[in-house]
Each structure stands twice: as C-alpha cells, then as structure tokens.
C-alpha cells in the first residue's frame, strides 16, 4: 500500500511537523461542524481555517504517525472545558494543528487538513468519509448532508487496536511516557467559552 509523508506547518512557518504513512487506509478524512470545533477556531481567531459552513476539516489517524520537526517550543494547547478535547495549536501565530482526547489511552489524533502542505493533498488523504454535526452548522448556501459518523468512530477504534497489536499505541509526541500532555493545556473559563461559541 502506497503511503506518503506529509509536512504540516503553521501559518508563520515557525512550527513544523511531519505526518508519516498518510493514505486513505491509515486515516479518515472527516468534517466536523459541531459548535465546539467552531468555538475552538474562534478562540484562536482562525475562522479562515473553517469550511464554508463552519466545519473543521480533519484527518484522523494514530499519533505514532506524528513527529514534531520544528519549533516545539511554540506548541500549546487549550480545552473549552475541563473534560473537553485537547486542541493543540502553534502559539507563534495561533494556527490550530491537532485535536486529541485528554489522555493517550486511545491512539487517536485529528490533524487539521488546512495545515497540510504540498499539492495533491486531496488525493493523498482520500475522500471525506464522514460529515458530522451538521445541525450545528450556520445557515449558508452550501447544502450539507450528514453521513458516516459511525464509520468514522469504528475506524478510530480499528486503528487503535491495530496500533495496540503493533506495540505502537503509546507512541505519541503529544504525551510523555507517564501519559501526561507535553504542555499543560489552558482550560477556558465559562465566559470565554460562551463568548467563542456561535
Ligand atoms: Zn506559527
Ligand atoms: Zn467537532
């Protein structure tokens, strides 16, 4: 199976990473329109990264495929609530980069597609297999069809168990060997969260 390494870069170029083994089989392209993902972009002033109807364009894969190559000191993280997703970003220019859970027990990372560099990314990562939470999408001209939510969830579990079998499930540049995140996430106050939520 042909896979490709894809460079990831923040808007200003100080933070860089590499996503290895990219193919439509090693990850799933998913569009999430939930209010939290929209709020996550608003917190960083990164609405320009969103799809026309407010969706986040993500490639979900296993963290063992991720390698930070430049500017690790710019890596930062916030959560919309104490138990919310960890939203990792490059603090040099507030570019959203990755989403993870608050722990590394599930081998899961969502990489924001807009930070992927190079031409032909669409081909490399494959078709969108799920469009989720469309009821939260702001009204707009482009119609949205909801599909694939269960399939995306199934793929996350299948990739996790694959990584577990290969002894790769804890390979993760965003968490240390004790399972703690490599940077302490900032948890938004309720007021901040409310202000950012559409
Ligand atoms: Zn930057
Ligand atoms: Zn979402």
Domain boundaries, the chain: 4-196
Q: Where are the alpha helices (DSSP H) in 22-170?
A: 35-43, 121-125, 149-165
* Segment 80-109, tens digit of pLDDT: 999 999 999 999 999 999 999 999 999 999
How far is ligand 1, taken at its centre, from the CA of residue 161, in Å? 34
What ligand is nearest to the CA atom of residue 46? 1
Query: Residue 136, CB half-sphere, CA atoms under 13 Å: how many?
Result: 17
- When the pLDDT of each residue in the chain is averaged and rounded to a whole number, the result is 96
What class is the 4-196 domain? mainly beta
How far is ligand 2, taken at its centre, from the CA of residue 33, in Å? 6
Q: Which H/E stretch holds residue 192?
A: helix 190-196
Give the integer Cα–Cα distance in Å for 89 and 8: 12
How far is ligand 2, taken at its centre, from the CA of residue 9, in Å? 21
Give the integer Cα–Cα distance in Å for 156 and 154: 5
* Segment 119-158, tens digit of pLDDT: 999 999 999 999 999 999 999 878 999 999 999 999 999 9
What ligand is nearest to the CA atom of residue 17? 1
What ligand is nearest to the CA atom of residue 60? 2
Average pLDDT over residues 54-64: 98
What local confidence, expressed as pLDDT, does residue 1 receive?
Answer: 61
How far is ligand 2, taken at its centre, from the CA of residue 193, in Å? 14
Residues in the 5 Å CB sphere of ion ligand 2: 32, 34, 37
How far is ligand 1, taken at its centre, from the CA of residue 88, in Å? 12
**Number of neighbouring beta carbons within 10 Å of residue 24:** 16
- Cα 149 from chain centroid? 16
How far is ligand 1, taken at its centre, from the CA of residue 147, in Å? 33
What ligand is nearest to the CA atom of residue 15? 1
Give the integer Cα–Cα distance in Å for 73 and 63: 19
Beta-sheet pairing, 28-32 with 128-132: parallel
How far is ligand 2, taken at its centre, from the CA of residue 139, in Å? 17
User: Is the pLDDT assigned to residue 2 strictly greater than 90?
Assistant: no
What local confidence, expressed as pLDDT, does residue 31 receive?
Answer: 98
How far is ligand 2, taken at its centre, from the CA of residue 10, in Å? 20
């Amino acid at each position: 199976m042909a896979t490709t390494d894809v460079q990831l870069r923040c808007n200003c170029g100080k933070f860089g990473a590499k996503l290895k083994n990219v193919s439509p089989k090693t990850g799933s392209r998913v569009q999430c329109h939930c209010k939290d993902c929209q709020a996550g972009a608003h917190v960083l002033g990164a609405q320009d990264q969103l799809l026309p109807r407010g969706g986040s364009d993500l490639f979900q894969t296993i963290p063992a495929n991720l390698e930070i190559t430049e500017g690790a000191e710019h890596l930062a993280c916030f959560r919309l609530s104490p138990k919310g997703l960890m939203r990792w970003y490059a603090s040099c220019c507030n570019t959203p980069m990755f989403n993870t859970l608050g722990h590394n027990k599930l081998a899961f990372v969502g990489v924001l597609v807009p930070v992927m560099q190079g031409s032909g990314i669409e081909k490399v990562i494959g078709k969108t297999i799920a469009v989720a939470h469309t009821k939260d999408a702001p009204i707009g001209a482009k119609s949205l069809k909801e599909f694939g939510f269960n399939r995306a969830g199934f793929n996350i579990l299948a990739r996790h168990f694959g990584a577990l079998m290969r002894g790769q499930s804890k390979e993760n540049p965003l968490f240390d060997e004790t399972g703690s995140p490599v940077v302490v996430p900032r948890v938004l106050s309720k007021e901040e969260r409310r202000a950012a939520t559409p």
